[in-house]
Amino acid sequence: MLLLNRRDFAVLSLATLCTSPSQAQVDTSRAAQFIQAAGNELVAAINNPGLNATARQERVASILRRCVDVEAVGRFVLGRFWRVATPAEQQDYLRLFEASLIRNLAGRFGEYQGVRFSLGRTQSRTEDDALVSTTVTRPGSNPFNLDWRVAESGGQPKIVDLIAEGTSLRLTQRSEYASVIQRGGGQVSALLSAMRAQAAR
Determine the distance from the C-alpha atom of residue 161 to the mean position of all C-alpha atoms in its chain, rounded to a whole number.
6
Q: Residue 76: CA atoms inside 13 Å, Cβ hemisphere, count?
A: 21
For the stretch 155-188, pLDDT in tens is 899 998 888 888 888 899 999 999 999 999 999 9
For the stretch 18-36, pLDDT in tens is 334 444 567 899 999 999 9
**Domain boundaries of the chain, sorted by first residue:** 6-200
For the stretch 91-139, pLDDT in tens is 999 999 998 888 877 766 656 678 888 999 999 877 788 999 999 888 8
Q: Residue 37: CA atoms inside 13 Å, Cβ hemisphere, count?
A: 12
What is the enclosing helix (H) or strand (E) of 190? helix 188-200
In this structure, what are the phi and psi dihedrals at residue 64, rounded to the nearest 5 degrees? -65, -40
pLDDT at 144: 84
pLDDT at 27: 87
CATH number listed for the domain at residues 6-200 = 3.10.450.710
Task: Give the count of beta carbons closer than 10 Å to the beta carbon of residue 177.
Answer: 23
DSSP-derived secondary structure letter, 149 = E
pLDDT at 185: 95
Query: Regarding beta strands 116-124 and 144-153, do their DSSP bridges make them parallel or antiparallel, or are they unpaired?
Result: unpaired
